[in-house]
Amino acid sequence: MRDYIVEGNTIRALEKEYVQPFKKPVSDAVIRNREKAARMNAGYVAFLVFMASILFVSCIMYINLRSDITESQKNVEQLQSKVAALKLQNDEEYDRIVGNVDMEEIKKVAMNELHMNYPDSGQVSITANNDSDYVRQYREIPSE
């Protein structure tokens, strides 16, 4: 049968005290070892302070490095936006210049003032196209 306590209008069960069934006797050496393990000696404290300072310095260096990387990324983004703006400006200027070129006027000046004319069929020589913008001529083209 259980024991109960009546408090006010409620009934509660009694709390039983926990008792270890078998308690082994502890020797003096074990007690001294436990006390020694609980204390910190100067060498251990110095080691902990040294490791904490290394960790602190490493964290500061990491934060500075991340800050430099972030700053560099912002700088790269600004430079990329400047490049994009300059390319757009360059394309607009190129289109304006090409739009102002009058090919008929160039043809009139070349033929009338510079006395240029279209080549005859025997004056044209075809070379292999190497996908470059110009051709360098190192020697005379042999006539056939």
φ, ψ of residue 131 to 5 degrees: the values are 60, 30
- Residue span of the structural domain in which 58 resides: 40-117
- 144 assigned to some structural domain: no
Rounded to the nearest 5 percent, the helix, strand and coil shares of the chain are 60, 5, 35
CA 51/CA 35 separation, integer angstroms: 25
Quote the mean pLDDT of the chain. Answer: 82
- 74 assigned to some structural domain: yes
Is residue 7 pLDDT above 90, yes or no? no
- 60 assigned to some structural domain: yes
Q: Beta-carbon neighbour count of residue 100 at 10 Å? A: 7
- 90 assigned to some structural domain: yes
- 82 assigned to some structural domain: yes
Could you tell me which residue, 117 or 93, shows the higher pLDDT?
93
**Total residues belonging to the chain:** 144
Mean pLDDT of 92-103: 88
- 70 assigned to some structural domain: yes
- 10 assigned to some structural domain: no
- 94 assigned to some structural domain: yes
Predicted structure pTM score: 0.44
Lowest mean pLDDT segment, chosen from 22-36, 37-51, 90-104, 127-141: 127-141
Residues above pLDDT 90, as percent of the chain: 35
Mean pLDDT of 7-36: 70
Q: How many domains does the chain have?
A: 1
Q: Could you tell me the end-to-end alpha-carbon distance of the chain, in angstroms, rounded to an integer?
A: 129
Contact 5, 12 (CB under 8 A): yes
Mean pLDDT of 24-47: 82
Identity of the highest mean pLDDT range in 31-45, 94-108, 130-144: 94-108
Chain CA centroid to CA 138, Å: 49
